[in-house]
């Protein structure tokens, strides 16, 4: 397919990263296959995660097609960009369409990016994930590649002001060993394994991060930060979902 939008967007992002002197560290990029389909599954802590998760695939000269909620495609600014980069819209009321589009991309040899937690983790830990990534990989006969991001939440995350022009922020991107689920496997057990791998990668990213302050909002509670605990974050997500439903009903 023609790539008119994606390369210029990548170029602009790289220029901005250099201007802001972001300290981006990527480990394990060689685990992204140079050819063929793959499902890349990342944790989700920032509205910018698709940029940085996709950054991990650049050394392999791959462009990742991310699955993102339909509302992003409906936006007057982000929508044309998302469509131009051939990302995949997800309408949660009609998930079969997104699954079909992802399968088509995988079978065509594309890398499909998935944020299996569905929403941003306010606790900055890995939330429970569903087995959709595993099912897609099995159906398409492709590997699953776990990825952990850390530092991106400092730029723009849920419930915090945007700091898109903040300088010198370290960003860590870790790519894990690929998984190769197959037909006949227990999909739920494979999903638990995937979440465990993601959590281990994230923990390593957090503990090796260049900055280890105490009492800051962007650190998880178990590392001395003031982010919500997973339980508190779940309650906040539930309250937010109820508010959105009430607005829709109104």
Asked if residue 149 has pLDDT above 90, the reply is yes
Round the average pLDDT of the chain to a whole number and report it.
96
Interval 33-44: pLDDT, tens: 999 999 999 999
**Region of residue 109 (left: phi > 0; alpha: psi -120 to 50; beta: else):** left
pLDDT category at 195 given cuts 50, 70, 90 is very high
| pLDDT for the residue numbered 167 | 98
As a whole number of angstroms, the distance between CA 96 and CA 119 comes to: 19
**Would you tell me how many other CB atoms lie within 10 Å of the CB of residue 147?**
29
Band of residue 1 on the pLDDT scale cut at 50, 70, 90: confident
Q: What is the pLDDT of residues 19-32, one digit of tens each?
A: 999 999 999 999 99
Q: How confident is the model at residue 113 (pLDDT cuts 50, 70, 90)?
A: very high
Cα-flanking dihedrals φ and ψ of residue 56, to 5°? -65, -25
Query: Does the pLDDT at position 98 exceed 80?
Result: yes
Token pair in block for residue 220: 């998880």
Enter the tokens of residue 101: 């589009």
Residue 211 is predicted with a pLDDT of 98
Ordered domains of the chain (ranges, CATH): 6-215 (3.40.1130.10)
Pairing of strands 88-90, 38-42: unpaired
Pair of tokens at residue 47:
């509205």
Q: How far is the C-alpha of 147 from the C-alpha of 99, rounded, in Å?
A: 21
Tell me, what's the pLDDT at 248? Answer: 85
Beta strands 111-114 and 144-150: pairing type? unpaired
Percent of the chain residues past pLDDT 70, beyond the cut: 99
187-207 and 132-140 helices, crossing angle to 10°: 110
Which tokens in the block code for residue 30?
């060689």
């Amino acid at each position: 397919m023609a790539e008119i939008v994606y390369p210029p967007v990548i170029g602009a992002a790289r220029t901005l990263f250099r201007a802001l002197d972001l300290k981006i560290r990527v480990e394990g990029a060689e685990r992204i296959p140079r050819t063929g389909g793959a499902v890349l599954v990342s944790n989700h802590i920032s509205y910018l995660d698709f940029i940085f998760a996709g950054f991990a695939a650049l050394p392999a000269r791959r462009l990742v097609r991310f699955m993102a909620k339909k509302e992003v495609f409906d936006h007057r600014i982000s929508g044309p960009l998302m469509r131009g980069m051939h990302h995949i819209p997800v309408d949660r009321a009609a998930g079969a369409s997104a699954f079909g589009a992802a399968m088509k991309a995988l079978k065509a040899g594309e890398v499909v990016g998935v944020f299996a937690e569905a929403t941003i983790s306010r606790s900055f830990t890995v939330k429970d994930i569903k087995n959709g990534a595993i099912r897609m990989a099995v159906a398409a006969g492709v590997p699953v590649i776990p990825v952990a991001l850390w530092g991106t939440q400092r730029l723009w995350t849920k419930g915090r002001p945007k700091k898109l022009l903040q300088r010198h922020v370290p960003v860590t991107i870790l790519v894990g060993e690929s998984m190769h689920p197959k037909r006949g496997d227990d999909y739920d057990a494979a999903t638990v394994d995937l979440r465990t791998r993601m959590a281990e990668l994230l923990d390593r990213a957090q503990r090796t991060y260049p900055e280890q302050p105490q009492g800051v909002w962007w650190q998880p509670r178990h590392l001395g930060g003031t982010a919500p605990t997973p339980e508190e974050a779940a309650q906040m997500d539930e309250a937010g979902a109820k508010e959105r439903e009430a607005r829709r009903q109104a």
